[in-house]
Amino acid sequence: MNSDFKNESDLSTSSLQCSGRDDAKNIIPGTDNVIPSSDSVIPSDDNVIPSVVEGSEIKKVLLLGSGGLRISQAGEFDYSGSQAIKALQEEGVEVVLVNPNIATVQTDDHMADKVYLQPLNVPTVAKIITDENPDAILLSFGGQTALNLGLELEEQGILAKNKVKVLGSSVETIRLAEDRALFKAEIEKINVKTAKSFCVDTVEEALKAAQEIGFPLMMRSGFSLGGLGSGIVHDIATLETNVRATLHAAPHVLIEECLIGWSEFEYEIVRDCVGNTITVCNMENFDAIGVHTGESIVIAPSQTLDNKEYHFLREIAVKVANHFNIIGECNIQYAYNAKTGDYRVIEINPRLSRSSALASKATGYPLAFVAAKLALGLKLHEIKNSVTQKTCAFFEPALDYLVVKIPRWDTHKLKAAERRIGTEMKSVGEVMAIGRSFPEALQKAVGMLNIGVTNLSDYQNEITDLNAEIKNPTDRRIFALYQYFLKGGSVDQVAEWTNIHPWFLHPIKQIADFEKSFPSTSIDKETLLRAKQLGFSDKTLARLKGVSAQEFRQMRLSNDVVPYVKQIDTLAGEFEAQTNYLYMTYHADRHDIEPSKTSATVVLGSGPYSIGSSVEFDWCAVNTARTLKRLGESPIMINSNPETVSTDYDESDRLYFEQLTFERVQDIAGFENLKGIIVSVGGQAANNLALPLHNEGYKIIGTSPVNIDQAEDRSKFSSLLNELNIDQPDWVSATSLDNARNFAEKVGYPVLVRPSFVLSGAAMNVAYSEQELVQFITEASSVSPDHPVVISDFIMDAKELEIDGVAQNGEIVIYAMSEHVENAGVHSGDATIVLPPQKLYLETIRRTKKIARKIVKALNISGPFNMQLIAKDNAIKVIECNLRASRSFPFASKVTNHNFIEIATEVIMDHYTHRHYETLDLDYVGVKTPQFSYTRLKGANPVAHVEMASTGEVACLGEDWLDAFYRSWQATEVSIPRKRLFISIGNTDKKLKLLPYLQELDRKGWDLYTTTGTHDFLARNGVASSHVYKASDGLNPNTTDLIKHHDVDLIINIPRRHNQQPQEQVSDGFLIRRLAIDHHIPLVTNFQIAQAMLQALIEEYDKGVHDVKSWQEFVGAGSLGN
Amino acid sequence: MQSAFLILESGERFQGKLPEWVSGDFFGEVVFNTGMVGYVEAMTDPSYRGQILTFTYPLIGNYGVPDVSEWESDSIHTAGVIVSTASSTFQHRNATSSFLDWCEKNQVPVLMDVDTRALAKTLSRNGVVAGVISTKEEPPKEFVDINKRHLVKEVSISKPKLIGEEGPIVVAVDCGMKKNIMRHLLELPIRILQVPFDYDFTNEEYDAVFISNGPGDPAMCKETVGILKKELNGDKPIFGICLGSQIMAQAIGAKTYKLPFGHRAQNHACIEEGAERCYLTSQNHGFAIDEESLPDDWQVMYRNLNDQTVQGIKHKTKPFFSVQFHPEAGPGPVDTAFLFEKFYKMIEEEVGK
């Protein structure tokens, strides 16, 4: 095998070029590592790509994580990484993990042997490799980030130099699979069909390719993550523009045959090093080709394929896996023409993916766990089926249910971002529903989305042009379809417009028809059962009948119409299994299991990832369950999000993959033998259930729901603060426009406007003038006593700080104080946060602590809490207090090395014994940086403001604050390769404040680029900069070309104000920011961050990557408390 | 729709609904299959003769039913079918009928809205039992034991026929042979002499022997066993599938026994004995070969990874082998289709002698 290994370096030089033309043939030294069988049976393919792995001498493995959550790369990689760690450790292998995503389970102290909360870039990982000297590296558990980084490490010879083996599928395999041209050439060798396609490096070549294929055609960029830069192109002009833009970010572009109208299927393949291959799950997309699989509703298993088709595609999957010598997991995507039976392979992903996470949760087959074992050289039949404990991992799960996945979008939260969905991914999360009929699973999934709907019927926003939203899919097409059917639309019409298979459309129409007939149908057991089997919520049925949801529930229960608990056992009941993986269905007449014997504790998970509710709440839920287990309690987890660790069935005693709705939580609580319910670790959605559940008599563990309500209800909380003599920004709940105007005049502009979200879906905004105030309010909705708009005083130039803590009976047990780098006005989820605070006055800290104590006492908090405050001069005002775990709990826990969730769980379960903690005086600093996904949201304005827009976060520890800040910033996968800075600052006082930094950078040899105002200012102050024109000047050289040609490495563009008016969207500033995003050039738009960044460039940049310390090294040295 | 029941001899009762056209009681041995596709193939497989088949996949009929050329035989053999939901719509380029219309046309009762998971769990826990589909809530006085019937006789052909123009002649003993076996054999450059299960072919001209799948207890196939015993004295290649494998076992003096609830699925893992090579197989059998009783010159060829039962046997020196699973698939994975090639290679060698 060694000779093959050598070939890798030859290969690396050519691989990133478009053509594998050079020497694709040389790449595959015709080895067969496929196995010895006494019969000559193997799908023997003499072109099989070699593997380089001999598992036995592997003692220490470096595992690459996926970094901050972003669109197309979410929490699924915490699931896959965590399972990999468990699997490796079970085999006695030491695991070193690199992942700056501090909010993950995989970076917990009891997971990997060593954790580096450090940037996932070549210099950092290279240093870690030198320091740690691992035997091998795993690239397939950290998404595209880890895969790409692995390829770079290999190309630069770092792996070979340090004798680090790549486990699992080899680098050759990865490269051949990832590079579209190489892939196509390769797969054609085994006569498997792919779409007609041309790889082009220039616009001219693209036009030539278009002539061959004809319009419409499909454009894709190689090495893309979630289909970035891809799309259907209908004409020459668009093709020209798009190809030009994409070629800046990608080495080449593919022009392909357009398969619009075909269906899309996926198979998840697992293969071991001797060639044993299975497909664990297949999936069918609801939406036809043209909608990215991450944007599509997905059903598993496939529903419309017959036996021959199912196995035809499966056979191709196995053949491809054999040819590419996959070891571990691989996903294959097909376009399939149901009218002709023709197919095309779209792509393969030789790694764990979002789809594989879904497949894993859909089937109960622990794909990532098994893939990790296979990477070590184990064979499929040597690994146990962890569900049955009797059978082995070589089998294909038989489902006796189906699952429906629906993506969760937040496009409406991002100003000016398009709602249209297509070949690029925009969704931020997903839900998975399990049911025994399509309507049941579909409606269940809709109710899991946490968007204020319990099923298809109660989508509140009016869709004005149904036909348009059906024809051109948006994030709410499923609701448009439903409303269209309610209005009498036909399946045939929809099928013609959308190419969605009629098999999926008929049931939706059926649901709509039922809704129409239900109000006039008399209620009996039969009707109720039918309604529930179609997936209707009690809430909707109650509304249709004009009764309250709880009344309806009683009526249903008295008719004995209840959901039954079923197990997921991977074998459809064929073998007896002691599985704890559960769901509920109305297509049953008996439970699979008995209620838990010991009295159990329900933990409510977070539901789908969305902007504002991300992997941190999964971390909280998992740590709660683990602590409960350690305390001898019996945790029952409820969650609906397949991209999580909490839905691994070994994390709790029972896992209900279920809705987190009031109705379903009651169903489960009603069935189980319960001690109580923990609502405080799943984020806001879980927290919202506290009072309703309490009112129905369910025991809520932790702070009393009455007190939770007192903190949640703005008026109640405000009166409490007044009583306690604690300051708060002035506010009013305006019930009329005049109301709002009068208030704003009283406190003075700017004011913060917060419309009733559920009704309008509109975002928060800062109004700087009366005109803006009126505009925001009328845009949002009409103001009325039923739908008041909250207006509050917006305090400028203030610092924002947060306290995360745990209290017991009104006394603080532990707390951590952190400060925002950005001034108040940036949402706390989008802020850069420093812990412990570095720039607060001791006086401020003391006062803040006192305020926190008072509030904790007054609300009699028992459990986790979070407080947000602003400090200006010596005044401290409280913005809000959440009586639940917050987004920053994992950050606070890992920086201080005290697990806040563990402590909170001990407190609320009455297992806590008092201890002392040091959280302020640490020898190092932690900085948390938001991770944005603006590249995926065409047209969105990339400026952080009062409404949260980031999709994830990362954090790094450093010796001092600047060190931590700079590392953490780089951990969002940005880098500054050369010393070329473009800077444009609006305000004069800000220009003045930044001047010393720029003078210093000038001395240090940085090239500065500026537009007129900044240029003249710098010139007056003796700093030379290259002048470029604004786009609107229409002259050369200009900012647009500067960015498009990548003549600059960092862009600092500080808008004058926090918010942007719609008409400003086409301003020069917006253009610069948007171009920076679209051309992958790091961008800073906040003044305080700019200051910090310039300071870092002065002090840190020239050092390069020096010391890289693991988390254990930091906290071991620094936690004085222990 | 009418309310109806599946009543098991062991006492359990499962409620469901029957289409209006169904009347009377339908007896059979109640079994389940966990495949997620392939309901047409399964129901037309003669091996299911006389059985009431439960599909654990909850949605049946999604892609309708193609015409008879795609079936595994010319009719439905199951005595009844149990499902959770029968799809009310279907759309597929090969479909000529809906699932429910097809069942009605063939007078096969479909009991719907049944908690099929609970039923499958009952069967896997307690073993396969006799049962009845009926509109009556009370159990019948007596259940019918289908294994007392000569099921193979019911599904075999009546007289021999020769198929093909040229090539070596393979005798295919039809104990209820699936069409997909025939399709696979016909892909080989051979002629097939398809004969009834009790037809003594040993005095005719041929080059190899194939013994097909079929329903019921191998002990009922005494005639076939007797003929095969004679054949085993020779050196011509012999290949058996499913019931054919059990008949092979009986003919060489090994024993077969009834499994508690059989193997009826498309996801059963088999490992090649003495190697690390695993295959995913389609299985449909209620009986298995007792490994201990194998004669010295025979050995295990494949083994089920779930319960270690014998899934294939071969002669140590002669070209005789048989498998319990279904290499022809239909329904199921096609991983082991190479066995037909293997058989052909043996024939080539034999003919070359």
The domain defined by B151-351 carries CATH number 1.10.3470.10: no
What pLDDT, on the 0 to 100 scale, is given for residue B88?
85
Q: In whole angstroms, what is the distance from residue A1053 CA to residue A1055 CA?
A: 6
The angle formed by the CA atoms of residues A495, A307 and A288, to the nearest 5 degrees, is: 25
**pLDDT confidence bin for A838, thresholds 50/70/90:** very high
Residue A1023 has what DSSP assignment?
-
- Mean pLDDT lowest for which of A761-770, A1021-1030, A1080-1089, A1100-1109? A761-770
**pLDDT confidence bin for A44, thresholds 50/70/90:** very low
Q: Would you name the residues of B annotated as active-site residues?
A: 242, 326, 328
Least CB–CB distance from A39: residue in B41, B56, B342: B342
Span A71-81, mean pLDDT? 93
pLDDT at A759 over 60: no
Q: How close B204 gets to chain A, by Cα (Å)? A: 31
B316 touches chain A (CB under 8 A): no
Judging contacts by C-beta atoms under 8 Å, the chain A residues touching residue B63 are 304-306
What pLDDT, on the 0 to 100 scale, is given for residue A229?
65
* Top-confidence residue, A1118 or A332: A332
What pLDDT, on the 0 to 100 scale, is given for residue A16?
29
Describe the strand order of the beta sheet including A217-221 as a list of residue ranges.
Answer: A197-200, A253-257, A217-221, A231-233
Span A305-320, mean pLDDT? 97
Span A103-110, mean pLDDT? 95
Query: Which residues of chain B are modeled with pLDDT < 70?
Result: none
Q: In whole angstroms, what is the distance from residue B317 CA to residue B315 CA?
A: 6
Least CB–CB distance from B56: residue in A311, A503, A572: A572
pLDDT at A522 over 70: yes
Q: In whole angstroms, what is the distance from residue A352 CA to residue A367 CA?
A: 8
Judging contacts by C-beta atoms under 8 Å, the chain A residues touching residue B277 are 35-37, 41-42, 274-276
Q: In whole angstroms, what is the distance from residue A802 CA to residue A878 CA?
A: 10
Q: Where are the domains of chain B?
A: 2-148, 151-351
Buried b (16+ CB within 10 A) or exposed e, B322-346: bbbbbbbbbbbbbbbbbbbbbbbeb
What pLDDT, on the 0 to 100 scale, is given for residue A387?
79
- Mean pLDDT lowest for which of A307-311, A586-590, B208-212, B283-287? B283-287
A1052 touches chain B (CB under 8 A): no
List the structure tokens of A566.
């079923």
Peptide bond into A1037 cis (omega under 30): yes
Find which of B280, B300, B301, B321 to mutate to test the A interface (most A CBs within 10 Å of its CB).
B280
A921 touches chain B (CB under 8 A): no
Q: In A286-341, where do the E strands start and end? A: 298-300, 328-337
Return mean pLDDT, chain A.
89
pLDDT at A34 over 60: no
B88 touches chain A (CB under 8 A): yes
CB-CB under 8 Å, B333 with A276: no
With tokens 């695993």, the residue in question is B278
- Mean pLDDT lowest for which of A337-341, A562-566, A1030-1034, B202-206? A1030-1034
* Of A805, A788, A797, the residue nearest A754 (C-alpha): A788
CB-CB under 8 Å, A380 with B278: yes
Q: In whole angstroms, what is the distance from residue A641 CA to residue A662 CA?
A: 17
* Of A813, A401, A427, the residue nearest A586 (C-alpha): A401
Looking at domain B2-148, which of 3.40.50.2020, 3.40.50.720, 3.50.30.20, 1.20.1090.10 is its CATH number? 3.50.30.20
Least CB–CB distance from A573: residue in B93, B113, B121: B121
pLDDT at A303 over 70: yes
The angle formed by the CA atoms of residues A796, A799 and A803, to the nearest 5 degrees, is: 135
pLDDT at A26 over 70: no
CB-CB under 8 Å, B37 with A310: yes
> DSSP readout, A251-266?
S-EEEEE--TT-EEEE
B98 touches chain A (CB under 8 A): no
Which chain A residue lies closest to B70 (C-alpha atoms)?
A308
Judging contacts by C-beta atoms under 8 Å, the chain B residues touching residue A35 are 275-277
Span A521-532, mean pLDDT? 96
Span A369-392, mean pLDDT? 91
Q: In whole angstroms, what is the distance from residue B342 CA to residue B319 CA?
A: 10
Residue A101 has what DSSP assignment?
-
At position A151, the amino acid (one-letter code) is: L
B272 touches chain A (CB under 8 A): yes
Q: In whole angstroms, what is the distance from residue B247 CA to residue B322 CA?
A: 9
CB-CB under 8 Å, B275 with A574: no
SS3 B315: strand
Q: What count of other Cβ atoms lies within 10 Å of the Cβ of residue A708? A: 25
Write phi, then psi, for A709 (nearest 5 degrees).
-60, -35
**How much of chain A exceeds pLDDT 90, in percent?**
75
Q: Per DSSP, what are the bridge partners of residue B171?
A: B193, B209
- Mean pLDDT lowest for which of A189-198, A385-394, A430-439, A1113-1122? A1113-1122
**pLDDT confidence bin for A43, thresholds 50/70/90:** very low
**pLDDT confidence bin for A49, thresholds 50/70/90:** low
B40 touches chain A (CB under 8 A): yes
> What is the 3-class SS of A594-611, one letter each residue?
CCCCCCEEEEECCCCCEC
At position A617, the amino acid (one-letter code) is: F
* Of B31, B36, B41, the residue nearest B65 (C-alpha): B41
What pLDDT, on the 0 to 100 scale, is given for residue A784?
64
Question: β-strands B278-289, B169-174: how paired?
Answer: unpaired
How far is residue A205 from each of residues A201, A211, A255, B348, measured CA to CA in Å?
7, 10, 10, 54
Q: Residues 228 to 257 of B: which have CB under 8 A from any A CB?
A: none
With tokens 């700079």, the residue in question is A966
Q: Per DSSP, what are the bridge partners of residue A1007?
A: A980
* Of A662, A603, A689, A666, the residue nearest A638 (C-alpha): A603
CB pairs under 8 A between A and B: 184
Q: In whole angstroms, what is the distance from residue A957 CA to residue A144 CA?
A: 24
* Of A758, A431, A453, the residue nearest A610 (C-alpha): A431
Q: In whole angstroms, what is the distance from residue A231 CA to residue A990 CA?
A: 41
Q: In whole angstroms, what is the distance from residue A113 CA to residue B296 CA?
A: 53
* Top-confidence residue, B214 or A36: B214
Least CB–CB distance from B274: residue in A38, A278, A436: A38
> DSSP readout, A339-398?
TTTEEEEEEEE-S--HHHHHHHHHH---HHHHHHHHHTT--GGGSB-TTTSSSBS-S-PB
Q: In whole angstroms, what is the distance from residue A837 CA to residue B159 CA?
A: 93
Please name the helix (run of DSSP H) or strand (run of DSSP E) that holds residue A111, with its range, or none: none
Q: In whole angstroms, what is the distance from residue B96 CA to residue A422 CA?
A: 35
What pLDDT, on the 0 to 100 scale, is given for residue A873?
82
What pLDDT, on the 0 to 100 scale, is given for residue B129?
93
How far is residue A702 from each of residues A705, A859, A902, A906, measured CA to CA in Å?
9, 12, 13, 10
Least CB–CB distance from A307: residue in B15, B269, B330: B330
Judging contacts by C-beta atoms under 8 Å, the chain B residues touching residue A576 are 121, 124-125
Span A972-988, mean pLDDT? 93
Find which of B278, B284, B326 to mutate to test the A interface (most A CBs within 10 Å of its CB).
B278
Write phi, then psi, for A721 (nearest 5 degrees).
-60, -40
Please name the helix (run of DSSP H) or strand (run of DSSP E) that holds residue B130, with its range, or none: strand B129-134
Question: β-strands B129-134, A833-835: how paired?
Answer: unpaired
Q: What is the pLDDT of residues A124-145, one digit of tens each?
A: 999 999 999 999 999 999 999 9
Q: What is the pLDDT of residues A1061-1099, one digit of tens each?
A: 444 456 888 889 989 998 899 999 999 999 999 999 999
Span A181-209, mean pLDDT? 91
Least CB–CB distance from B58: residue in A400, A574, A575: A400
What pLDDT, on the 0 to 100 scale, is given for residue A756?
60
Peptide bond into A36 cis (omega under 30): no
Residue A845: left if φ>0, alpha if ψ -120 to 50, beta else—which one?
alpha
B265 touches chain A (CB under 8 A): yes
Q: How close A591 gets to chain B, by Cα (Å)? A: 8
Judging contacts by C-beta atoms under 8 Å, the chain B residues touching residue A402 are 58-59
CB-CB under 8 Å, B58 with A587: yes
Span A488-499, mean pLDDT? 97
* Top-confidence residue, A676 or A51: A676
How far is residue B33 from each of residues A572, A833, A1086, measured CA to CA in Å?
9, 57, 62
What pLDDT, on the 0 to 100 scale, is given for residue A33?
39
**pLDDT confidence bin for A221, thresholds 50/70/90:** confident
B87 touches chain A (CB under 8 A): yes
List the structure tokens of A782.
């009409």
B226 touches chain A (CB under 8 A): no
**pLDDT confidence bin for A13, thresholds 50/70/90:** very low
pLDDT at A1118 over 70: no
Which chain A residue lies closest to B55 (C-alpha atoms)?
A400
Q: Residues 437 to 496 of A: which have CB under 8 A from any B CB?
A: 437-438
Indicate the angle between helix axes A737-747 and A770-780, nearest 10 degrees. Answer: 140
pLDDT at A537 over 80: yes
Span A261-267, mean pLDDT? 95
* Top-confidence residue, A265 or A756: A265
List the structure tokens of A231.
């799309």
Q: How close B187 gets to chain A, by Cα (Å)? A: 17
What pLDDT, on the 0 to 100 scale, is given for residue A39?
43
Cβ contact B217:B250 at 8 Å: no
A392 touches chain B (CB under 8 A): yes
